[in-house]
Chain A
């Protein structure tokens, strides 16, 4: 699809929708998660897709991590602001619920960044929890030891649990498996 829009300087520019879509994804991918700013929304798997609509607007899809994640409004606003700043026409954000986000969508780069930031990355969802199943093995993000224990199922944000390392005695957050 080739569309015509009025550019910022008042001139008419022509562009290819596929390139515009790629540019929108590239810009949106830079937006950091407001709660864990070392991660981008692309690292998290929150950024799902983008498209140029029939009326020439740029629409980006994001999906919530947790039903009640209070960061979603902030993320939507930041994406719109970033797209607008990059000169993309009439940016808007759509919240999609399907398919439901899972921590398995987090990129390898994202998992590494989390660990460096002091948060243990989520265990792989393949090990879904039974009611009284054993906790997954969680390595301390500081010293790497696996002698760790859960302090609380719920932490400072909806996506984290609170653990501590028995080897180095440091408490740390774990990104919950979802």
Chain B
């Protein structure tokens, strides 16, 4: 089926960026289903994926309504090619080992939890309602990943090494969490969305507290990767979408 593109107003861009972060990360987490190190973690990662997927669905549905072209959440998820995806690069990186998955979830959740808390006062009532639900879910995600990062960092020599390597690898991707472009500035000015830069201090404090307990060292801030918000992605996203979108592309409109 032909791919679609979306003419993105700043408001639509906001919704797609948040939805794409959630969907892509949900997909990466879902890859653990049946492969996690223990049953409880299999359940936990699948549950977190489900929360993120639910958030993405609500955001896509809202975006489709704002766009007003009769599209659905499925159209936006299944029919856009990688350059039309607006997620941060961190979300699309391959799942790596368990330490990598946990470190990514922690860095992401430590940002998204306060983000959704502030977004509850958005001037877009639907976005505010999605935020109210997501904030509670992210509180659990943050706690889960923080507890695991401490366990890994303060665990065996191998778990500590893997956790430290994961942080080093992920660190250059954390800059994108706080970046804003013109579209962001417009929705921030309109009161639709929180200013990500304003969440930096809280994120720094959460990271410092958990890394300290985990006896892990915060990697040094250096050159930061970016591009996801503009559709410039790593090679990994295309492969992921090929798996995720295959069915709808091969059998357009297929339903359960």
A152 and B40 contacting across the interface, CB-CB below 8 Å? yes
B140 and A68 contacting across the interface, CB-CB below 8 Å? no
A61 → chain B closest CB, angstroms = 13
B143 and A153 contacting across the interface, CB-CB below 8 Å? yes
A64 and B54 contacting across the interface, CB-CB below 8 Å? yes
A82 at the binding interface (Cβ < 8 Å)? no
A98 and B43 contacting across the interface, CB-CB below 8 Å? no
A98 and B143 contacting across the interface, CB-CB below 8 Å? no
Contact string, A135-176, partner B, CB cutoff 8 A, digits 1/0?
000000000000000011111101000100000000000001
Contact string, B46-76, partner A, CB cutoff 8 A, digits 1/0?
0111111111011000000000000000000
A153 and B132 contacting across the interface, CB-CB below 8 Å? no
Q: Which residues of B contact A101 (CB under 8 A)?
A: 133
CA distance A131 to B47 in the complex (A): 19
Which interface residue of A66, A128, A155 has the most chain B CB atoms within 10 A? A66
Chain A: CB-nearest residue to B135: A100
CA distance A64 to B61 in the complex (A): 14
Instruction: Say whether, besides A97-B126, A129-B143, A158 and B51 are in contact (CB < 8 Å).
Output: yes
Q: Which residues of A contact B146 (CB under 8 A)?
A: 131-132
A178 at the binding interface (Cβ < 8 Å)? yes
B211 at the binding interface (Cβ < 8 Å)? no
A70 at the binding interface (Cβ < 8 Å)? yes
A97 and B139 contacting across the interface, CB-CB below 8 Å? no
A70 and B144 contacting across the interface, CB-CB below 8 Å? no
A99 at the binding interface (Cβ < 8 Å)? yes
A69 at the binding interface (Cβ < 8 Å)? yes
Interface of B: prevailing SS: helix
Tell me which of A99, A153, A156, A158 contacts B129 (CB under 8 A).
A99
Chain B: CB-nearest residue to A65: B133
Tell me which of B43, B54, B134 contacts A154 (CB under 8 A).
B43
A108 → chain B closest CB, angstroms = 22
Q: Which residues of A contact B34 (CB under 8 A)?
A: none
Instruction: Say whether, besides A66-B54, A131-B206, A158-B51, A98 and B40 are in contact (CB < 8 Å).
Output: no
B107 at the binding interface (Cβ < 8 Å)? no
Instruction: Say whether, besides A98-B125, A158-B47, A158-B50, A129 and B130 are in contact (CB < 8 Å).
Output: no
Interface of A: prevailing SS: loop
Tell me which of A69, A152, A154 contacts B48 (CB under 8 A).
A154
A53 at the binding interface (Cβ < 8 Å)? no
B168 at the binding interface (Cβ < 8 Å)? no
A162 and B40 contacting across the interface, CB-CB below 8 Å? yes
Tell me which of A154, A155, A158, A178 contacts B144 (CB under 8 A).
A154
Q: Which residues of B contact A100 (CB under 8 A)?
A: 129, 132-133, 136
B43 and A152 contacting across the interface, CB-CB below 8 Å? yes
Chain A: CB-nearest residue to B62: A97
B132 and A67 contacting across the interface, CB-CB below 8 Å? no
CA distance A69 to B55 in the complex (A): 10
Q: Which residues of B contact A158 (CB under 8 A)?
A: 47, 50-51
Q: Which residues of B contact A98 (CB under 8 A)?
A: 125-126, 128-129, 132
A-B pairs, 5 with minimum CB distance: A68-B54, A67-B54, A100-B132, A98-B129, A68-B50
- Residue numbers of A with Cβ under 8 A of B are 64, 66-70, 97-101, 128-129, 131-132, 151-156, 158, 162, 176, 178
- Residue numbers of B with Cβ under 8 A of A are 40, 43-44, 47-55, 57-58, 125-126, 128-130, 132-134, 136-137, 139-140, 142-144, 146, 206, 209
- Listed A/B pairs (5) with beta-carbon separation below 8 Å: A66-B137, A67-B137, A100-B132, A101-B133, A131-B142
A-B contacts besides A66-B54, A99-B132, A178-B136, 8 pairs, CB < 8 Å: A67-B51, A67-B52, A67-B133, A99-B129, A100-B136, A101-B133, A128-B139, A132-B146
